């Protein structure tokens, strides 16, 4: 029994045998109903009769976001029209948007996964959940809403923006939980602190998602709002938010393995990577009907954590998301991601979250300069000690050596865009 679900998890079908049956059923279903996968498998010469174990999934081709875009508008639909009850769409900032059709069952499975997230975060039918993500084509708000209703909690469906109204409702309705992006949670926290309202609010839990946030930002939100935060993960192509959440131990995110199969691959070669190795998360929707996806490349970086969680929840875990595969910096043959750098910084005391990376190439040799703000930067001995600790952490955690330069707090330019943290002079 786990607090993420009231019923015994043995009823959910998370054993290897049960998940294998679900995978084979999924392949049968797409071969019958999905023109998208019929065509893709025919083109690639796939015989689904060869897929007999969960490991065999690596014999199937990967599915990319570009392919989903090319299927616009309803090319991913894998069931007859009368089974579809709703669509959602991912943003179309580049190219066509992706449209995902949902059956009644898909909508219910999603609500159930979201309800488990709330439970894992310790919420019950006594709670009042203020929902600030948007409602509409994008999946976020309605997912939080459906899960709250399934839990029996009181949903306060605010949607984004209008901070005055948010604060008023938070006070008057005594909201106990906040569903939000990390940047909006921080904005609310700052407003609450500015108005000296911290003692008047009733929030105890934040369910925070949709963007990567550094441990330092998380600590600030928790401190200023006086809450515990839970990191929620999801993407529109795969239901929406609520497919994974960290538990009270905050050591990785549990994912709902009765509905989803997670793998990690090398983002460059596409090869499967062993558990524990950092790479690109690939998801197969075992039970989805409207638009099932097989080996979908999320472009999100994480690793599968092989050990069971100390919290006792039987669902497996991934590490917290460490950024996007597109943000990769290649240095001395090693791939480095911004999330890993934040990890390094987090482990050395007295170092701020502000840094810059300068890459130089001299006589064919790459050097990585790491410029970072530290407390008491005028103390040279302190700088030397911090630089040594940082270099060691880089070597231990990422496998590259860096030249550290410590600067005073506030010395680095502030920018909204994380890309300006990396200055690559190697092309010149
Ligand atoms: Zn746990």
Angle formed at CA 114 by CA 108 and CA 118, multiple of 5 degrees: 140
Q: Please give the model's pTM, rounded to 2 decimal places.
A: 0.88
Q: Give mean pLDDT, residues 156-176.
A: 96
Task: Quote the ligand 1 centre to 357 CA distance (angstroms).
Answer: 34
Taking Cα atoms as reference points, which of 34, 103, 31 lies closest to residue 75?
34
What are the pLDDT digits (tens) for 334-367?
888 888 888 888 888 888 878 899 999 988 888 9
H/E element holding 388? helix 380-397
CA of 30 to the centre of ligand 1 (A): 33
246 Cα: distance to centroid of ligand 1 (angstroms): 7
CA distances from 261 to 20, 49, 55, 169, 399 (A): 10, 19, 11, 39, 30
CB atoms within 10 A of CB 230: 24
Mean pLDDT in residue range 41-67: 97
Q: Residue 3: what pLDDT? A: 65
Query: Are 315 and 296 spatial neighbours (Cβ–Cβ below 8 Å)?
Result: no
What is the percent of the chain where pLDDT is above 70?
95
In this prediction, residue 4 carries a pLDDT of 65
Q: How far is the CA of 112 from the centre of ligand 1 (A)?
A: 18
Q: Over 60: is that where the pLDDT of 327 sits? A: yes
Distance from the alpha carbon of residue 214 to the mean position of ligand 1, in angstroms: 20
Mean predicted confidence (pLDDT) in 39-65: 97
Is the preceding peptide bond at 309 cis, omega within 30 degrees of 0? no
User: What's the CA gap between 319 and 325, in Å, rounded?
Assistant: 15
CB 389 within 8 Å of CB 253:
no
The pLDDT value recorded for residue 5 is 55
- Give the distance (Å) from ligand 1 centre to CA of residue 240: 21
- In the Cβ-directed half-sphere of 255, how many Cα atoms lie within 13 Å? 30
Lowest mean pLDDT among 136-145, 162-171, 322-331: 322-331
Mean pLDDT of the chain: 92
Token pair, residue 49, equals 């009769």
Least confident of 1-10, 84-93, 308-317, 381-390: 1-10
Q: What's the CA gap between 52 and 44, in Å, rounded?
A: 18
pLDDT at 77: 98
Is residue 167 over pLDDT 70? yes
The arrangement of strands across the sheet holding 260-265 comes to 260-265, 279-285, 296-302
Assess whether pLDDT exceeds 80 at residue 415: no
The rounded Å distance from CA 22 to ligand 1 centre is: 25
Indicate the burial class of 215 (C-beta count within 10 angstroms; 0-12, 13-18, 19 or more).
middle
Domains of the chain: 4-12+101-326 (3.40.50.12780), 328-424 (3.30.300.30)
Distance CA(359)–CA(427), nearest Å, equals 10
**pLDDT value at residue 419:** 44
134-157: average pLDDT = 95
Task: Dig out the tokens for 229 from the structure.
Answer: 């935060």
Q: Check whether 418 has a pLDDT greater than 50.
A: no
Distance 3 CA to ligand 1 centre (A): 10
**Residue pLDDT, tens place only, 225-264:** 999 999 999 999 999 999 999 999 999 999 999 999 999 9
Query: Is the pLDDT reported for residue 199 higher than 60?
Result: yes
Gap from CA of 230 to ligand 1 centroid (Å): 11
Query: What is residue 337's predicted lDDT score, i.e. its pLDDT?
Result: 85
Which DSSP string corresponds to 228-287? Answer: EEEEEEEETTBBEEEEEEE-TT-SSEEE-TTTEEEEEE-TTT--B--TT--EEEEEEESS
Say how many Å lie between the CA of residue 317 and the centre of ligand 1.
8
CA of 257 to the centre of ligand 1 (A): 14
pLDDT at 146: 98
pLDDT for 55-102, tens place per residue? 999 999 999 999 999 999 999 999 999 999 999 998 766 678 999 999
Cα of 14 to ligand 1 centre, how many Å?
16
How far is the centre of ligand 1, averaged over its atoms, from the C-alpha of 250 (Å)?
A: 7
- Which tokens belong to 241? 């938010």
CA of 247 to the centre of ligand 1 (A): 5
C-alpha 264 to ligand 1 mean position (Å): 20
- Residue 268: pLDDT band (50, 70, 90) is confident
Among the listed ranges 202-206, 284-288, 290-294, 327-331, which one has the minimum average pLDDT value? 327-331
Burial of 392 (0-12, 13-18, 19+ CB in 10 A): middle
CA of 315 from ligand 1 middle (Å) equals: 8
Q: How far is the CA of 318 from the centre of ligand 1 (A)?
A: 11
Q: Are 240 and 299 contacting, i.e. CB atoms less than 8 angstroms apart?
A: no
Residue 40 DSSP code = H
Say how many Å lie between the CA of residue 281 and the centre of ligand 1.
19
244 CA distance to ligand 1 centroid (A)? 11
Share of the chain above pLDDT 90, in %: 73
The mean per-residue pLDDT over the stretch 290-301 comes to 97
Ligand 1 centre and the CA of 118: distance in Å?
A: 14
């Amino acid at each position: 029994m786990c607090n993420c679900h009231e019923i015994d998890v043995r009823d959910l079908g998370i054993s290897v045998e049960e998940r294998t049956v679900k995978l084979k059923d999924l392949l049968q279903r797409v071969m019958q109903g999905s023109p998208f996968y019929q065509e893709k498998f025919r083109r690639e010469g796939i015989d689904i009769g060869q897929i007999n174990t969960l490991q065999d999934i690596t014999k199937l081709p990967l599915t990319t976001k570009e392919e989903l875009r090319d299927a616009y508008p309803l090319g991913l639909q894998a069931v007859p029209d009368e089974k579809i009850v709703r669509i959602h769409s991912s943003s179309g900032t580049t190219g066509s948007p992706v449209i995902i059709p949902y059956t009644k069952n898909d909508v219910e499975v999603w609500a159930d996964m979201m309800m488990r997230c709330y439970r894992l975060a310790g919420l019950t039918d006594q709670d009042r959940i203020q929902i600030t993500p948007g409602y509409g084509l994008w999946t976020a708000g309605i997912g939080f809403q459906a899960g709250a209703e399934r839990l029996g909690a009181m949903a306060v469906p605010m949607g984004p923006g209008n901070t005055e109204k948010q604060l008023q409702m938070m006070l008057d309705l005594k909201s106990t939980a906040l569903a939000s992006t990390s940047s909006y949670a921080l904005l609310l926290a700052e407003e609450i602190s500015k108005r000296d309202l911290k003692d008047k609010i009733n929030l105890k839990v934040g369910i925070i998602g949709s963007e990567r946030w550094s441990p330092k930002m998380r600590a600030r939100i928790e401190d200023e709002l006086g809450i515990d935060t839970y990191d929620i993960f999801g993407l529109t192509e795969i239901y929406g938010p609520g497919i994974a959440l960290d538990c009270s131990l905050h050591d990785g995110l549990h994912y709902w393995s009765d509905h989803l199969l997670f793998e990690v691959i090398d983002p460059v070669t596409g090869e499967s990577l062993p558990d524990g190795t950092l790479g690109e998360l690939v998801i197969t929707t075992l039970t989805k009907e409207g638009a099932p996806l097989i080996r979908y490349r999320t472009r999100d970086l994480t690793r599968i954590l092989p050990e069971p969680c100390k919290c006792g929840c039987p669902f497996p875990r991934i590490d917290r998301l460490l950024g996007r595969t597109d943000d990769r910096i290649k240095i001395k043959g090693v791939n480095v991601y911004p999330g890993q750098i934040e990890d390094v910084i987090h482990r050395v005391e007295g170092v701020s979250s502000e840094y810059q990376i300068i890459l130089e190439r001299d006589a064919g040799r790459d050097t990585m300069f790491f410029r970072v703000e530290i407390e008491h930067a005028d103390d040279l001995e302190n700088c030397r000690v911090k630089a040594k600790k940082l270099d060691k952490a880089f070597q231990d955690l990422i496998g590259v050596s860096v030249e550290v330069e410590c600067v005073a707090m506030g010395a680095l330019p502030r920018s909204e865009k994380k890309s300006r943290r990396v200055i690559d002079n190697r092309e010149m």
